[in-house]
Amino acid sequence: MSRIQATLAALAANNKKGLIPFITAGDPAPELTVPLMHALVRGGADILELGVPFSDPMAEGPVIQRACERALKFGVSLHDVLGYVRQFRQDNSTTPVVLMGYANPLERMGVDAFIAAAKEAGVDGSIVVDYPPEECEEFAAKMQANGMDPIFLLAPTSTEKRIQQVAKVGGGFTYYVSLKGVTGAANIDTTEVAARVAAIRKHVKLPIGVGFGIRDAATAKAVAQVSDAVVIGSRIIQELENTPREQAVAAVENFLSGIRKALDE
């Protein structure tokens, strides 16, 4: 059982829901990435999702696009992101870390080199947004052979065939995109989310995390009632944008602790 699977299984055994916050590595400054990761854990994160900056993040809304642009201005690369994970692991050997990004940086490094480097750094899984699950069975198998989970996205428009393929090749958890559009784009219809998650569960036996559009404690709690975990990204990036840099770590921890409290009530 992977660290992601073990974490989510332990939460389920205690009738708790997972909290998966997202930040973009290198934003708002490279030296803050690891302190922010630790702050998110103190705030109640169960799994960390760390974005790999990319110049054309097609699934991201304006908020995370800006985060990528800021990180890229600092020259933050996939190598740097792996370095942040390695540094985080010096003080935290238990919280799973998932890298979220796009195929281009990974392909440039080379799939085998990436998998070896990710394993050495202490990465637990990856979401490669533009890797179709139908075309990367070899990648998924190599990830799992090295103890890491290939995590795939499903959307409101996903066909039954696509859901079945994700069930076949995915690991860790399945990420359900709760709305049609990009990250942070709209408010969630929790009734529709409940119906779609129920349909996905007919085929997918992995835990289901729901993200895109979760902006506050009330929405997080509503979504958690029909899923196994909630993913929050754009709202955390907004917190960083609206906070002086020297207060960023405390602000993020405080924000996430409010979400954690709502999930546990």
92 pLDDT exceeds 70? Answer: yes
For residue 25, the domain's CATH number is 3.20.20.70
Q: Give me the residue label for tokens 């404690």.
A: 217
Supply the pLDDT for residue 189. Answer: 79
Cβ-contact 77, 89 below 8 angstroms: no
Residue 71 within a domain: yes
Catalytic residue among 31, 60, 241, 265: 60
Residue 213 within a domain: yes
Supply the pLDDT for residue 222. Answer: 92
224 pLDDT exceeds 60? Answer: yes
Catalytic site includes residue 246 = no
Average pLDDT over residues 46-53: 98
φ and ψ at 77, to 5 degrees?
A: -120, 175
Average pLDDT over residues 101-113: 96
226 pLDDT exceeds 70? Answer: yes
Q: Is the dihedral of CA 19, 220, 51, 249 positive or negative?
A: negative
Supply the pLDDT for residue 190. Answer: 83
Average pLDDT over residues 217-243: 95
Catalytic residue among 31, 49, 138, 192: 49
56 pLDDT exceeds 80? Answer: yes
Average pLDDT over residues 234-251: 96
In 3D space, the residue among 74, 35, 92, 46 whose CA is nearest the CA of residue 252 turns out to be 35
Each residue's pLDDT tens digit, 129-174:
999 999 999 999 999 999 999 999 999 999 999 999 999 999 999 9
Lowest mean pLDDT among 8-17, 98-107, 185-194: 185-194
The CA distance from 5 to 47, in Å, is 10
Please tell me which residue, 192 or 85, carries the higher pLDDT value: 85
For residue 250, give its domain range: 3-260
Supply the pLDDT for residue 1. Answer: 87
Residue 265 within a domain: no
Surface-to-core class of residue 108, CB atoms within 10 Å of its CB (0-12 exposed, 13-18 middle, 19+ buried): exposed
φ and ψ at 226, to 5 degrees?
A: -120, 5
Catalytic site includes residue 69 = no
191 pLDDT exceeds 90? Answer: no
180 pLDDT exceeds 80? Answer: no
Residue 185 within a domain: yes
Q: Which phi-psi region, left, alpha or beta, contains residue 171 (left: φ > 0; alpha: ψ -120 to 50)?
A: beta
For the entire predicted model, the pTM comes to 0.95
Residue 116 tokens, joined: 């070896």
Residue 32 within a domain: yes
Confidence of residue 79 (pLDDT cuts 50, 70, 90): very high
Q: How many domains does the chain have?
A: 1
